Amino acid sequence: MRNSQGGGLGNVSMPEWDVIVIGAGAAGLLCAIEAGKRGREVLLLEHSDTVGKKIKISGGGRCNFTNIYTNPDNFTSSNPHFCKSALARYTPADFVALVEKHGIAYHEKKLGQLFCYGSSQQIIDLLLRECMDARVEIRCGCRVLGVEKNDTFRIETNQGSIVSDSLVIASGGLSIAPLGATDFGYRIARQFGLQIEEPRPGLVPFTLTSQILKRWAKLAGVSVYALVGYDGQQFRENILITHRGLSGPGILQISSYWEPGASVSINLLPDEDMLELLMRNKSSDTELVNLLSRYLPRRFAQAWCDLYAASRPLKHYNGRELEEVARMLHNMQITPSGTEGFKKAEVTVGGVSTTELSSRTMEARRVPGLYFIGEVVDVTGQLGGYNFQWAWASAFAAGQFV
């Protein structure tokens, strides 16, 4: 830390840093570490009382810190190519190496998702230890009141004024305000005239109309393996019917792509050819509900038949009716009334437009020295460790240049 002469305040001297990072979440911590390792003097500001609150609760307390199959296709953005460069330069193997360096035990739960065996606090401790080694100074409980740019950035905080050559915004998205989420990053982007892709909740449960909820009341609590689709995106994962609507990984995944008013398709038996199966049993005494119960939870099969196809022996259905049953099982169309919003969303879709940023450095093209990393940027990962991988990768990219 150097001392500078504060322009606006006459000759008052102000502490000056090479780099100030705002937001001590996944992205801010890693960026501070990388910049510190390069010998930069780094100050990391966090308005909450502790760092890494989302890391702490992530992955059910065990932090799904990356996904070994990370690929640009796992991300949504107005520019799907933007994430490629950063993801290629900091891979899941790079973060795994860090986890192993700190002796943290981990395992693959499913589909390439890596979790700590112990607690997600281990990841926070890892990052804090690396910050210490890289001589990063961290200040919690620090509220930023304003940012100005001349040759350098001048940041007014509740703990005084500070100056830096580079300013990194790592303040995350809007999901789950009690964990520290604010619109700070978007406000700074607007202040500097940068475009924002409208932020909206992602990885979020759907709500349903009271009419549908009433009809589905008996299904609440049932989970079914399904293929959920919308606008060319498809996910084979469980869906969960709740008292308020639909949740479960398959629904959370598709919610990041869904647009209000549209319907999503649900294939309840993606691994079966139901028409062929029903036709094969066309002359049997087996009741539809019993046949379906071989492939679906009985409670679900029963409720589904009550709602859509009053169960009777299969021999009592004609061909057209069986075709209709098969069609409804393979292509149920549901129109959500909305989502549970930022209160329940795991991520924010949208954010600082990638057209404003260099994909190599995350620096704003029109504002030299200003960087945006992590969830505040219009790059959103699917469920399964991809959002942390984007946080690490974008942070690493900026960390080499700030």
Ligand X SMILES: Cc1cc2nc3c(=O)[nH]c(=O)nc-3n(C[C@H](O)[C@H](O)[C@H](O)COP(=O)(O)OP(=O)(O)OC[C@H]3O[C@@H](n4cnc5c(N)ncnc54)[C@H](O)[C@@H]3O)c2cc1C
Q: Which residues bind ligand X (CB under 6 A)?
A: 22-28, 45-48, 53-54, 57-59, 63-64, 144, 170-172, 175-176, 180, 182, 184, 346-347, 374-375, 385-388, 391
Between the alpha carbon of residue 73 and those of residues 48, 82, 181, 381, the distances in Å are 33, 11, 26, 9
Cβ–Cβ under 8 Å, residues 371 and 363? yes
- Smallest distance from ligand X to CB 283, Å: 50
Nearer to ligand X, 66 or 302 (CB): 66
Q: How many CB atoms lie within 10 A of CB 124?
A: 20
Burial of 2 (0-12, 13-18, 19+ CB in 10 A): exposed
Q: Is 110 helix (H, G, I), strand (E, B) or coil?
A: coil
Rounded CA gap, 40 and 59, in Å?
A: 32
Nearer to ligand X, 278 or 398 (CB): 398
Rounded CA gap, 307 and 232, in Å?
A: 28
Residue with smallest beta-carbon separation from ligand X: 25
- Smallest distance from ligand X to CB 309, Å: 38
User: Which residues partner with 327 through β-bridges?
Assistant: none
| Buried-state track 228-259, b at ≥16 Cβ within 10 A, e below 16 | bbbeeeebbbebbbbeebbbbbbbbbbbbbbe
- Smallest distance from ligand X to CB 377, Å: 8
Nearer to ligand X, 131 or 277 (CB): 131
Please enumerate in sequence order all residues whose Cβ is within 8 A of that of 47, keeping only pairs 6 or more positions apart, or say none.
140, 141, 142, 143, 144, 180, 182
Nearer to ligand X, 174 or 219 (CB): 174
Please enumerate in sequence order all residues whose Cβ is within 8 A of that of 69, keeping only pairs 6 or more positions apart, or say none.
111, 112
Nearer to ligand X, 229 or 249 (CB): 249
- Smallest distance from ligand X to CB 261, Å: 26
Please enumerate in sequence order all residues whose Cβ is within 8 A of that of 276, keeping only pairs 6 or more positions apart, or say none.
none
Nearer to ligand X, 30 or 246 (CB): 30
- Smallest distance from ligand X to CB 100, Å: 18
- Smallest distance from ligand X to CB 282, Å: 47
Rounded CA gap, 293 and 285, in Å?
A: 15
- Smallest distance from ligand X to CB 67, Å: 8
Nearer to ligand X, 180 or 369 (CB): 180
Rounded CA gap, 46 and 170, in Å?
A: 10
Phi, then psi, of 237 in degrees rounded to 5: -155, 175
Rounded CA gap, 38 and 305, in Å?
A: 64
Nearer to ligand X, 252 or 367 (CB): 252
- Smallest distance from ligand X to CB 166, Å: 16
Nearer to ligand X, 159 or 195 (CB): 159
- Smallest distance from ligand X to CB 176, Å: 5
